[in-house]
């Protein structure tokens, strides 16, 4: 009996469990009494209000009906009734409003639960929205575009400033108050603080300027906010063009078999830091060899070397050094240099070095006397790939020429075969042996003449050693 009484008592108590309404802004709840002032909404603009039905009772509450009545109002987010709100818990209800007529609007939001209900009268006033126009000045801007209201500053050079004159116009028949003007986003800022509120008379206007001042080459985005309206800001910055670099070689007459140094400079300090690659290419003058793999930058062993320059410098670093050493190879032709970079240069940079055909270059030579043979060894290169004709003039130990004088030999076909095998250029080591009958130690020296299409090279008095 006692148990039944307790149950009877509890039922009406549970039926009186209350829902309390709150307006939610961020994490702040504000109690809502019979009416709630939403405030003003610009024409054509939607505004969403977040209300919270909180169960302050000790038992669950089942909402059986949720409705709003009023022109321009709608519930956009909420579960469909019936739904239950547990004790201490809550349910948010999102009410959206938009209006086109300049007027005051109201609506009744009603929540029915457990045979009772809670309701609130929502009030809102539609006001004229300020129209926004843009005027370009100098490196100005365009927009707002009809789609997303974007104001576009276009492309400007990094480090420069584009000023965009903004004109606020009140196209309505009533005075309009602009209470807030702000700009957000890196690179964008108001040229001067805008004093608000700004009261715009019908047909009146107000001006202010938004600056776009990018500091690096990238795409920027921000926002201009006027009262409740937001206008995306966008702009692209590109690097300042560098002066045309000059590529220079160290002093000296170009020839094969050299290690030369390339430097790269600007006529005036670089406005920005930049990097890229210096590219080398080789065009052979030979019909025998189309390329020469020894023509490379030594720092990389390849035909490109990285370059970099700091803002304010005039001297480029090539491979981390002030100059890049490259080999001229052993083939007549032309070595050309160009640059590749993401940076923009005022003009294209290039340089070339012509390696002329030359007589056979002898790097080293030796003459050896063996029993029955005289050996002559030559290390060198022939950048014309036409060597083979040669002559040898022997002298006795007293320095007298040995009869019959110059002995000619033609090893053109042997050289051609060697070159055609592709040994990475024209460098060669050659050994020519002369069979000797008798005492070879009586032969003291030899003159060697090596002839190619560019002329003859002579090795004078190569002394025979045992």
Task: Indicate the residue among 102 and 366 with the shorter CB distance to another protein.
Answer: 366
Residue with smaller CB distance to another protein, 15 or 365: 365
Closest approach of another protein to the CB of residue 270, in Å? 23
Q: Which residues contribute to the site for another protein (CB under 8 A)?
A: 256-259, 293-294, 296-303, 320-321, 325, 327-330, 361, 363-364, 374-375, 379-381, 392, 394, 402-404, 407, 409, 411, 414-415, 418, 423-425, 427-440, 442-443
Query: Least distance in Å: CB of 386 to another protein?
Result: 14
Dihedral, 73, 74, 77, 83 alpha carbons, nearest 10: 120
**DSSP letters for 246-286:** EEEE-SS---TT-EEEEEEE-SS--SS-EEEEEEEEEEE--
CB of 434 to another protein, least distance (A): 5
* Closer to another protein by Cβ: residue 53 or 443: 443
- The CB-of-282 to another protein minimum distance in angstroms stands at 10
Cβ atoms within 10 A of the Cβ of 32, count? 22
**417: which DSSP letter?**
H
Which of 201, 409 has the CB closer to another protein? 409
- Environment class of 101 (CB within 10 Å of its CB; exposed 0-12, middle 13-18, buried 19+): exposed
For residue 152, CA distances in Å to 140, 279, 361 come to 9, 38, 66
Residue 414 CB, shortest distance to another protein, in Å, is 6
By beta-carbon proximity to another protein, the closer residue of 208 and 428 is 428
Whole-number Å distance between alpha carbons of 225 and 63: 39
E strand or H helix that includes residue 396: strand 389-396
* C-alpha closest to that of 211 among 166, 143, 163, 168: 163
CB atoms within 10 A of CB 363: 12
Residue 259 Cβ vs another protein, minimum distance, rounded to whole Å: 5
CB of residue 265 vs another protein: minimum separation in angstroms? 21
Which CB, 170 or 327, lies closer to another protein? 327
- Cα 379 to Cα 366: distance, rounded to the nearest angstrom: 9
Of 208 and 282, which has the nearer Cβ to another protein? Answer: 282
Neighbours of 193 (CB within 10 A): 10
Q: Based on C-alpha coordinates, what's the Rg of the chain?
A: 46
Closer residue to another protein in complex, CB, 12/404 = 404
CB of 278 to another protein, least distance (A): 14
Closest distance of CB 293 from another protein, Å: 6
**Where is 11: in which H helix or E strand?**
helix 2-15
d(C-alpha 96, C-alpha 68), whole Å: 11
Comparing CB distances to another protein, the nearer of 163 and 362 is 362
Give residue 462's region: left, alpha or beta (phi > 0; psi -120 to 50): beta
């Amino acid at each position: 009996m006692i148990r039944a009484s307790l149950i009877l008592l509890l039922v009406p108590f549970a039926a009186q469990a209350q829902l309390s309404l709150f307006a939610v802004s961020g994490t702040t709840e504000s109690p809502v009494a019979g009416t709630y002032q939403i405030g003003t909404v610009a024409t054509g603009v939607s505004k969403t209000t977040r209300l919270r039905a909180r169960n302050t009772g000790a038992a669950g509450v089942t909402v059986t009906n949720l409705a709003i009545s009023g022109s321009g109002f709608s519930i956009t987010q909420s579960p469909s009734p019936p739904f239950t709100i547990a004790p201490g818990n809550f349910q948010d209800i999102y009410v959206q409003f938009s209006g086109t007529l300049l007027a005051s609007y109201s609506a009744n939001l009603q929540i029915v639960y457990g045979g009772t209900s809670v309701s609130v009268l929502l009030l809102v006033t539609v006001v004229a929205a300020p129209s926004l126009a843009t005027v370009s000045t100098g490196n100005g801007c365009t927009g707002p575009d009809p789609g997303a209201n974007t104001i576009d500053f276009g492309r400007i050079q990094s480090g420069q400033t584009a000023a965009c004159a903004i004109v606020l116009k009140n196209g309505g028949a009533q005075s309009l108050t602009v209470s807030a003007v702000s700009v957000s986003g890196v690179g964008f800022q108001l040229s001067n603080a805008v004093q608000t509120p700004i009261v715009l008379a019908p047909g009146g206007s107000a001006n202010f300027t938004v600056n776009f001042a990018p500091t690096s080459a990238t795409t920027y985005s921000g926002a201009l906010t006027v009262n409740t309206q937001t206008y995306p800001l966008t702009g692209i910055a590109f690097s300042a063009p560098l002066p045309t670099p000059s590529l220079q070689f160290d002093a000296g007459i170009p020839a094969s078999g050299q290690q030369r140094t390339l430097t790269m400079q600007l006529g005036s300090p670089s406005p920005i830091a930049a990097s890229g690659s210096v590219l080398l290419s080789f065009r052979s003058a030979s019909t025998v060899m189309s390329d020469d793999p020894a023509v490379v930058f030594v720092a990389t062993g390849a035909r490109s070397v990285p370059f970099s320059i700091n803002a304010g410098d005039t001297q480029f670093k090539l491979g981390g050094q002030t100059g890049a050493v490259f080999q001229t190879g052993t083939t007549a032709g032309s070595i050309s240099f160009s640059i590749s970079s993401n940076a923009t240069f005022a003009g294209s940079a290039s340089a070339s070095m012509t390696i002329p055909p030359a007589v056979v270059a002898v790097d080293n030579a030796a003459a050896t006397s063996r029993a029955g043979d005289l050996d002559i060894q030559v290390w060198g290169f022939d950048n014309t790939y036409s060597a083979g004709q040669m002559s040898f003039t022997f002298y006795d130990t007293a320095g007298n020429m040995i009869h019959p004088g110059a002995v000619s030999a033609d090893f053109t076909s042997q050289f051609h075969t060697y070159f055609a095998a592709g040994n990475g250029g024209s460098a060669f080591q050659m050994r020519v042996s002369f069979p000797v009958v008798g005492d070879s130690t009586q032969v003291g020296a030899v003159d060697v003449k090596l002839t190619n299409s560019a002329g003859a090279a002579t090795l004078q008095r190569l002394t025979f050693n045992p």
